[in-house]
Amino acid sequence: MRINYLFLLVTGIAIAPVHAESSWQEYSYPDSGVAFQLPVAPKVSNDKLILQSGISVPTTVYSARQDNVAYSVIVANFAGTSVEPRAVINETEKTISATGTVAFSVDARVDGEIGRQLSINAADGSRAKVAIFFTGDRLYELIGRTLPPDAAAGSGETIRFQESLRFISQSGAELRKGRPGVRGGPPGNAGPRRR
Amino acid sequence: MSFRVSRFTVLIGVCLAGQAVAHHSFAMFDRSRSETLNGKVKELDIINPHSWLKVIVKDAQGKESTWSLELGGASQLSRLGWDKLIHPGDSVTVTMHPLRDGSYGGQFVSVTLPDGKTLNDGRGPGQNTATPGATAPRSQNTGPQGR
């Protein structure tokens, strides 16, 4: 698989870091079937992903950066192809694992979908938390990377990013029960509650 | 004997059951271990699907690190009055299931407030799954231990 992780790294570093007080909110992209939370609004770009088999598919990349943490979500659209989802997940895991030492890797579940979650210590001193899922003809790869020299700082933010992933329908509706992404508590108390 | 369950009761039960289903697994957390953090509250963000508590912890050298702790959903915390009980700057002791890779984060278990009151986040049974006696203090403030 060829995916331009160098592009992602450069993009993550090039995006001016924002030092404003944390203000996480959910960003929903029904066209991509995904929603996730970030402390700053992501920039959207397009790229492509090429599998070892030669299959090439378009990707949409959502990137953001705050302080020393670079966030990205890659959505690869496999519609019209006949790939085996688990094989694509495995190839994606193998590719990104080659960028460093895998500290931890495990099967994981989001909204009933099974995928992989990894933690990688890269050779450049950065640390990445990665989530890989395949659902609805799309591959989803979340990467939260803390940058050197102090890659431990901000590492808690990358798990927050990873755990915020959820899958939504084309209409933006939830694919599970509940009211994810809504700030506040019971109906009528939907305002921000940051303390 | 007749036993009647109102539609309202069923509705409430269905709603609570829906909220009890986590939207993701907790694979990145080591739920076989518990650790404690002593620090000050930086921020409480009450949001679905999971709320987050940030705590600033000082190590023995005085270096500060910010820990992110995953909590239950907004409704659960609101029911328990979290928004009125936790404030930035509060000195707290937090018990958590740490991240497996040693990052500054964990799955919240409980918090002890300055007045000695202990709160959980309403996730109920299954939340406290640590092995008895496995609680390890992180904060005699030995700090992040090179993480």
Percentage, residues of chain A above pLDDT 90 = 69
Tell me what pLDDT residue B7 has.
53
Pick among B45, B56, B86 to test the A interface (most A CBs inside 10 A): B45
Q: Per residue in A52-70, pLDDT tens?
A: 999 999 999 999 999 999 9
Q: Answer whether B100's CB lies under 8 Å from A119's CB.
A: yes
Q: Per residue in B98-130, pLDDT tens?
A: 999 999 999 999 999 999 999 988 875 444 333
DSSP-assigned states of every residue in B5-59: --HHHHHHHHHHHHHHS-SB--TTB-TT-EEEEEEEEEEEE-BSS--EEEEEEE-
Q: Per residue in A156-166, pLDDT tens?
A: 999 999 999 99
**ipTM attached to this prediction:** 0.76
Chain A residue set in contact with B, beta carbons under 8 Å: 22, 24, 26, 37, 103-104, 106-111, 117, 119, 127, 129, 152-160, 162-166, 176-186, 189, 193-195
> In terms of pLDDT, which residue wins out, A145 or B139?
A145
Interchain pair A181, B47: CB under 8 A: yes
Nearest by CB to B99, which of A157, A159, A180?
A159
* Dist. CA B49–CA B74, nearest whole Å: 7
* Dist. CA A128–CA A143, nearest whole Å: 6
Which of the four pLDDT bands, split at 50, 70 and 90, describes residue A23?
Answer: confident
For chain B, give the mean pLDDT.
78
Distance from CA of B19 to the nearest CA of A (A): 6
Distance from CA of B102 to the nearest CA of A (A): 9
Nearest CA in chain A to B146: A152
Domains of chain B and any CATH numbers: 27-137 (2.40.50.140)
3-state secondary structure of A87: helix
Domain ranges of chain A: 5-167
Average of pLDDT values for B67-81?
92
Nearest CA in chain A to B22: A111
Tell which CATH architecture fits domain A5-167. Answer: 3-Layer(aba) Sandwich (3.40)
Which of the four pLDDT bands, split at 50, 70 and 90, describes residue A130?
Answer: very high
